[in-house]
Structure 1
């Protein structure tokens, strides 16, 4: 097994580096002021791309591994999931190009456009072994200038540039906050809110004057051209991240501070377009000092959001957005004690989104709690590199890529002096969605959750509890010595886990050691329950202890000469899994908020309704790959308010999404609330289809096609 990790070479130079598909796992993660909608679930005249897990492809970096590509004149139309007056869009344009998206609200084009650019994308880090060009997506935000309500239609149309739209965040932005009494305004010190003049000295003068008080950053755009230092015993406060905007690629850079620094409620937007690890191109580089806080910030286009060294004891980082950094989102780089990082949203990091790295001394008694992390495109969602008595609780991590797991607990040191894992490392209540990837250096996967004795044996107690792993492309839990030395991982307890649809195995054991498992329940396992093949060969076995309550993963992969491919081997795919649940759905039309995604959301109380008075109508579900479907179950809401009805329909199938053939001819299906408002359709044996289409020509009780759930099963 090669020795490289996503950030190994970088660290040698001193830098370590919804209506949504996630609704079912909303208990973990941050409480956010916006609601995200995936583009692939919206109506579009463009082309849906993905899903794809191949390193270096656009779809592999997208949220949900799918997105919508728009050529000039094509659009994607979202149904607003909530009242909103602002939107933030994750998108990609071809390298070297820039342009705009026209914006429509309920069919009317508004005067504002959304600027899109490749300027901050397409990052190359050739010094990191296994890295390819990455960081394809970016975020662009817009105040709409009007309020929209839930159910309104917001469309984005490409003009002259091809744009791939991934996800849209809809937000009701509050009015700008008022100036605190007694504060020192940066404009009183000469700052230019137009962004034309250099406001650096005005910020410095305001900080100097306001010691013990508040520096006020009024609404406006401010240009800060060199970093601030000597920041201590002061609050920097803005009117809100949508209003008070500082343009700076290096904001605070200081090796130490007496503390008491509070940064809140403004945005810092950088101009960092590449990753140069020797440059402090960070929002905060170094130390804020003890008892400090960072809250309500919008941090974007920096190398790292917060690269924290020195004394940051009892720091609180909460309620922030950290977007589109070329390296880490936040890294506690040694000697962090009592730090709490909670309720933050991080998207599109070029290395670990959140990391604790115990260089020069152990991080201790610190935590990552209730954060939402999406699309780290080179390394891990959350990484713990050494340290004592640390915790990772109730976080939601999705769509890691290339060289990372959703969560990594590791003794990879990168540099000395390093403090290995000690005490108790608590990993509790986390949800990992589509996390883990093939490591190009190893030639086989990194699991959704990885425990890694990379440079030394793990002797700490690692308690992994109440974990949900959903749609991991490869394995759920990995135990490995990534440096290839065969150091053991011991004292591991995995308790109370739900694993759904893991591509290969539940437990990927590749190093000596042991772990105890209890109440780990798996469904939809792709290949086998356990892969137990130590590396190097002969270094010693890994003991899997069954402490009871486990189910669905008792089989073992028998061939250590070959890594199982997704879906290969035993047990076979779950015959009773609903293949349509959560899959992309489109329709010929929909009525109001009753969009096609409601027919595959797993909730029989919600429903899709087609355009009225215009039969035929069709709904199409992309199952993701060709499946031998034997049975469909169609549902309407199980309520007495829904009277009995008969819908006349045929079933069509396709392997490519363009050419369809009839699988079951047209006939009437009775839905009766007395029997659950359910109809079952048997499909012929050998029916292989990826795209499932229901073509409805009549409904005896309404002038439209209606389904609350379209379910597809392999079992007859």
Structure 2
């Protein structure tokens, strides 16, 4: 292994936290309501669900979205009175365009610009990373009020657009200037965004010591960061009205404190990730007794990278979107910091992190935050520190190299201060969290306790946890650095686990944990995977404190990792066994690689080497299954003319010795009927490795599949 409760009401496609009796609701209280595109009416193509790293659907909220081409639209039923909307979307790399907006069938004069400029991030220096960060957010004041039940539709112009989720909001009118404040405009700032307002902001801050710097409605361009900020409030008319455009807002190593940033937006131009550059909203210190509230922070590398003295800082009621790295990181020395009631979406690293570098973070907490779609790390990560709390957070859809919550002694650099005192993890809800780690070649759980670089000796109390639809395991105990350090002093009390893909407890380190009142339903493979890493490094003891149910079985074979749904019963007997599985081929043409046929996207495809029949495509299903039916697809576009491919189906249990399952025959693919062919397999066909050999194609001199799907059902 190299380095590297609440419930959610999803049936109506809305992200809504619901509090169980006698316990606080998980997540933030938000001024908007989110509606998933896949739950809306559409003439486009729904993609997903998919958990495969590097695919568009895997980074989407709910792992599903809607792809729109010219003339197609997605129409939302508005869930609440609103005058504004924010849309999470993706467009193909290198493209831009717009979304036309329709309210109850009438097109608005305003459009919503969309671009790939801030997406498709490559971090080749991070082991296991792939191109990621496919989605972006764009917002629009509608210029009118709409009511619950009204309809808002989006239709693309100039490019294909994949719409993920829409946030509907009633934005209050712009606030008025506070009495006695110093306006940046009075110091020469240009609210049109054309002029450079940097010096005007500096002059206003110098003139307003102990008072308020007022940022009126408008767009302001700052070309270099502010420093020496202390004993001042910077306040805007609201984050939809007062907008500062800069990739570096405050950059300072120290401050006497009493800095308050509130009610405006800072939107950057960060299009990549350079860790040595302070491309952050705040880089360094705001000083003791400071606060950040009501902010809209977008297109930065990091929202807040906090070092030095930030004692008793409060960060609350903010939106942090589309950062190429962390949303917020308390990078050592934090004392009494409270990060609460924030919304974070589309982070390129940990959404919220505490990292005890140089000195420990102490008596600090992440509480009642809502986190969606961190696409290259954890929702919340605690790397070392003393007496830390993670409470009542709602985290969903982690993607690669991360868990929903990680409690870890991974140090990254020295001097590092490992976990100590009591680490409280209480009342959190994790939905579709945990991810396959390509470095480990097996997954990380929804909630991970990791003795990566040293033993866990702190007391770790995990209470009142809800874990829903984890693609792999619920709780993981691991020494991720491969040194076999123990995980000790863990107590898990009061957890509800539903529909976990593999196991409830993934134990891979020596040590011990006590479990009580942990109930599980729809467990994919077994209750417990107890396989120490490295082998023979020591056992993990699970103490039964009573009240546990639904996860008493143990995975029997440490030589294989359980696949989702491998146990009995299968949590989803109708699932496609091939989706996201490894694929190879005897040849490929250009970018049309074998994995395109199992990526869950019917618009992408594998194409073999041309004029070289026969050609074979193979996938490993991960375990032996009695496959009954294959569904073979080509892209649904009418541009793909009808054709017949001659195909032989072969199977193997060991990947070396293949036998014919269905002999060579022609299969017709016709766009008039969905460009789909179904292959029935004989009863009792047990195979792990599926191979399709194409010996002819009447439409192109190569084998072609956009999707190969394998099902247990006939």
TM over 0.5: yes
Q: 1:427 aligns with which of 406, 413, 425?
A: 425
Q: State the match for 2:214 in structure 1.
A: 216
Residue number in structure 2 paired with 1:119: 117
Report whether the alignment pairs 1:74 with 2:72.
yes
Deviations 1:299-347 (A, max 9, x none): 0000000000000000000000000000000000000000000000000
| Post-superposition CA distance 1:372-406 (Å, at most 9, x none) | 00000000000000000000000000000110000
Match of 1:643 in 2: none
Q: 2:13 aligns with which of 13, 20, 44?
A: 20
Decide which of 143, 148, 151 is 1:150's aligned counterpart. 148
Q: Does 1:159 align with 2:152?
A: no
Task: Kindly indicate whether the alpha-carbon contact (under 8 Å) linking 2:527 and 2:550 is maintained by their aligned counterparts in 1.
Answer: yes
Q: For residue 224 of structure 2, what is the aligned residue in structure 1? A: 226
Structure 2 matches for 1:491-502, cutoff 5 A? 491-502=489-500
Q: Does 2:59 align with 1:61?
A: yes
2:570 is aligned, of 570, 573, 577, to 573
C-alpha displacement of 1:569: 2.4
Aligned counterpart, 2:108: 110
Counterpart position of 2:275: 277
Q: What displacement does 1:20 show?
A: 3.1
Matches within 5 A, 1:533-548: 533-548=531-546
The SS at the match of 2:278 is: coil
Which deviations, in whole Å up to 9, do the C-alpha atoms of 1:392-448 show, x marking residues without a partner?
000000000110000000000011111000000000000000000000000000000
Alignment partner of 2:450 out of 452, 468, 491: 452
Pair 199,459 (structure 1): closer, same or farther in 2 beyond 3 Å: same
Is it true that 1:338 corresponds to 2:331 in the alignment? no
1:170-185 paired onto structure 2 within 5 Å? 170-185=168-183
Deviation at 1:658, TM superposition (A): 6.0
Once the two structures are superposed, what CA deviation does each residue of 1:555-583 show, in whole Å capped at 9, x if it has no partner?
0001000000000024x2369x999xxxx
What is the CA-CA distance between 1:158 and the residue it aligns to?
Answer: 1.0
**How many Å apart are 1:133 and its aligned residue?**
0.3
In structure 2, the residue matched to 1:489 is 487
Partners of 2:570 and 2:562 in 1: CA distance: 14
Alignment match, 1:391: 389
- Distance in 2 (CA, whole Å) between partners of 1:118 and 1:292 is 35
SS at match of 2:201: helix
Aligned counterparts of 1:257 and 1:342: Cα–Cα separation in 2? 23
Q: Secondary structure at the match of 2:185?
A: helix
- The CA deviation string for residues 453-503 of structure 1, in whole angstroms up to 9 with x for no partner, is 000000000000000000000000000000000000010000000000000
Determine helix, strand or coil for the equivalent of 1:64. Answer: helix
Instruction: Report the counterpart of residue 670 of structure 1 in structure 2.
Output: none
Listed as ranges, the matches of 1:273-312 within 5 Å are 273-312=271-310
Of 247, 250, 254, 2:248 maps to 250
| Contact in 1 for aligned 2:379/2:403 (Cα 8 Å) | yes
2: distance between equivalents of 1:20 and 1:567?
25
Three-state SS of the structure 1 residue aligned to 2:206 is helix
Asked if the contact 2:15/2:34 (under 8 Å) is kept, the reply is: no
Distance 1:627-1:46 versus aligned 2 partners, 3 A rule: farther
Q: Deviations over 1:571-606 (max 9, x none)?
A: x2369x999xxxxxxxxxxxxxxxxxxxxxxxxxxx
> What is the rounded CA distance, in whole Å, between the counterparts of 2:364 and 2:90 in structure 1?
36
Relative to the length of structure 1, the TM-score reads 0.79
Do the aligned partners of 1:523 and 1:574 also contact (CA within 8 Å) in 2? no
The superposition leaves residues 638-689 of structure 1 with CA deviations (integer Å, 9 ceiling, x where unpaired) of xxxxxxxxxxxxxxxxxxx9699xxxxxxxxxxxxxxxxxxxxxxxxx9xxx
Kept in 1, the 8 Å contact 2:17–2:26? The answer is: no
> Counterpart of 2:366?
368
Displacement of 1:517: 0.2
Distance 1:181 1:62 in 2: 45
Q: How many residues align?
A: 576
Partner of 1:710: none
Inter-partner Cα distance in structure 1 for 2:18 and 2:455: 33
Q: Secondary structure at the match of 2:200?
A: helix
**RMSD (Å) for aligned C-alpha atoms:** 2.1
Following TM superposition, by how much is the alpha carbon of 1:63 offset from its aligned partner in structure 2, in angstroms?
0.2
Secondary structure, counterpart of 2:204 in structure 1? helix
Query: Distance in 2 between the 1:659 and 1:551 partners?
Result: 46
Deviation at 1:21, TM superposition (A): 4.9
Whole-Å separation in 2 of the counterparts to 1:21 and 1:111: 28
Aligned to 2:201: 203
SS at match of 1:389: strand
1:206 counterpart SS class: helix
Q: CA deviation at 1:22?
A: 4.0
Question: How far apart, CA to CA, are the structure 1 residues paired with 2:326 and 2:158?
Answer: 33
**Structure 2, gaps ≥5 residues long:** 5-9, 20-24, 576-625, 629-672, 677-683, 685-711
- Unpaired segments ≥5 residues, structure 1: 6-17, 580-625, 629-656, 661-685, 687-713
Paired with 1:183 and 1:627, the residues of 2 have a C-alpha distance of 71
Q: Specify whether residues 71 and 247 from structure 1 end up closer, same or farther in structure 2 by C-alpha distance, changes over 3 A only.
A: same
1:87 Cα deviation after fit: 0.1
Alpha-carbon distance between aligned partners in 1 of 2:37 and 2:278, rounded to the nearest angstrom: 35
